[in-house]
Chain A
């Protein structure tokens, strides 16, 4: 099943890096993902996070604030 990943952030550099990291890790693990960037403040706020970038996988918030670690991304995607 294709995993639905959303990267939450107003469009700063870290958000872009985070999105790239998720794509990279997914490719490495051979997991099919769609990565969508959410930049609308109201929508970001709706996920209940207080710091960006945030990561939402299949509707569940797994990360908020700062760059994630690659090994943590692997765990969330698994």
Chain B
């Protein structure tokens, strides 16, 4: 490593002190988080009781849902996103690519889907990532496993499902999300569709590059966590509030028997309908989970609403428009077909398991 400027922050003792300070501040913030979180429910009950609305009315129920769920969801999201931001600082797309390059299908699909959860990924990077993977010798199907898992199984979705629907649903979503990514990627790999990439993509022969080591300290990792929170809250904050507001309306006003008859377990066609409905819709987990919770409360079947949620997140039209730059329309159709079939299967399976 080259000798660098001798500013005071490079002095090891100063740096250690600063790290200690950061650590202490983080611990204090986490403790404060738990203290405040424990007070949310009593506070919301107290607040709603003081509102000039009739108790047990539709309006009171909707308000209680909104007043309790908004801070709860925001707080849980902050914690989960922070933790994930720190975890992600240990990974990079380049390192993941090096792990996956030349890997056999099967094992490769499993590794790619799992790494998709922890590798930093933003949708504006999807195209460079796709080309970067394929041109460096990551098999096409393995690349798809990564690209399916990365947006679908994310900390926002898992954190919110855990918060609002419990750990069983969150774990099931994790498991089935991974399964869809692994199987769909494997199936696409079996089809040998490399020829269906856009021609210029096939001609990129860059190979992987070696990046110089960047210095990452513990403080940097904590900062990465904070950065992730700032990023996500700015990006999804309005979605959450909208989602919770929609959830609150459903909660207070939607007639239960109507929803149950449309989205209940009895209606077999509701799962494919949910998948189709989800494709043109574009939201993220933050906006959709509160709606999911409210729908469930009204008797909608879990598999149906989760299929809807997965479809909204994993098969979004904007993402396909981005990917159209590298994939031919035929390949996108195969992608939608295979992933859609996977979501369909998971929807039915969920309905069967969580009866």
Chains A and B bind each other:
yes
10 more A-B residue pairs beyond the given contacts A44-B128, A48-B209, A61-B211, with a C-beta to C-beta distance below 8 A: A10-B124, A14-B124, A41-B325, A45-B128, A45-B206, A64-B211, A68-B214, A71-B215, A72-B214, A74-B5
Task: From B44-52, B104-112, B130-138, B183-191, give the one contacting chain A.
Answer: B130-138
Nearest chain A residue, comparing its CB with the CB of B208: A48
Nearest chain B residue, comparing its CB with the CB of A61: B209
The answer to whether B211 touches A51, judged by C-beta atoms less than 8 angstroms apart, is no
Task: Give the contacts of A39-78 with B (CB-CB under 8 A).
Answer: 41-42, 44-52, 61-69, 71-72, 74-76, 78
The residue that B131 contacts in the complex, of A12, A41, A67, A71, with Cβ under 8 A, is A41
CB distance from B324 to the nearest CB of A (A): 12
The answer for the CA separation of A77 and B133 in the assembled complex, in Å, is 28
Task: Give the contacts of B260-312 with A (CB-CB under 8 A).
Answer: none
What is the size category of the interface that chain B forms with chain A? 35 or more
Instruction: Report which A residues bind B (CB closer than 8 A).
Output: 8-10, 12, 14, 41-42, 44-52, 61-69, 71-72, 74-76, 78
**B93 touches A (CB below 8 Å):** yes
The residue that A46 contacts in the complex, of B122, B206, B214, B227, with Cβ under 8 A, is B206
The answer to whether B128 touches A50, judged by C-beta atoms less than 8 angstroms apart, is yes
The answer for the CA separation of A70 and B119 in the assembled complex, in Å, is 23
Q: Which residues of A contact B220 (CB under 8 A)?
A: 69
The answer for the CA separation of A70 and B265 in the assembled complex, in Å, is 55
Q: Which residues of A contact B337 (CB under 8 A)?
A: none
The answer to whether B132 touches A45, judged by C-beta atoms less than 8 angstroms apart, is yes
The answer to whether A50 touches B200, judged by C-beta atoms less than 8 angstroms apart, is no
The answer to whether A51 touches B209, judged by C-beta atoms less than 8 angstroms apart, is no
CB distance from A19 to the nearest CB of B (A): 15
The answer for the CA separation of A34 and B200 in the assembled complex, in Å, is 29
CB distance from B157 to the nearest CB of A (A): 21
The answer for the CA separation of A43 and B96 in the assembled complex, in Å, is 22
The answer to whether A65 touches B209, judged by C-beta atoms less than 8 angstroms apart, is no
The answer to whether B124 touches A47, judged by C-beta atoms less than 8 angstroms apart, is no
Q: Which residues of B contact A64 (CB under 8 A)?
A: 92-94, 211
Interface string of B171-204 (1 = CB under 8 A from A): 0000000000000000000000000000011001
Q: Which residues of A contact B97 (CB under 8 A)?
A: 50
**B12 touches A (CB below 8 Å):** no
Q: Which residues of A contact B132 (CB under 8 A)?
A: 45, 48-51
Q: Which residues of A contact B215 (CB under 8 A)?
A: 69, 71-72
The residue that B206 contacts in the complex, of A12, A41, A47, A74, with Cβ under 8 A, is A47
The answer to whether B2 touches A78, judged by C-beta atoms less than 8 angstroms apart, is yes
The residue that A50 contacts in the complex, of B124, B136, B204, B227, with Cβ under 8 A, is B136
Q: Which residues of B contact A9 (CB under 8 A)?
A: 124
On whether A51 and B125 interact (CB within 8 A), knowing A61-B211, A74-B4, A78-B2, the answer reads: yes
Interface string of B86-128 (1 = CB under 8 A from A): 0000001110110000000000000000000000111011011
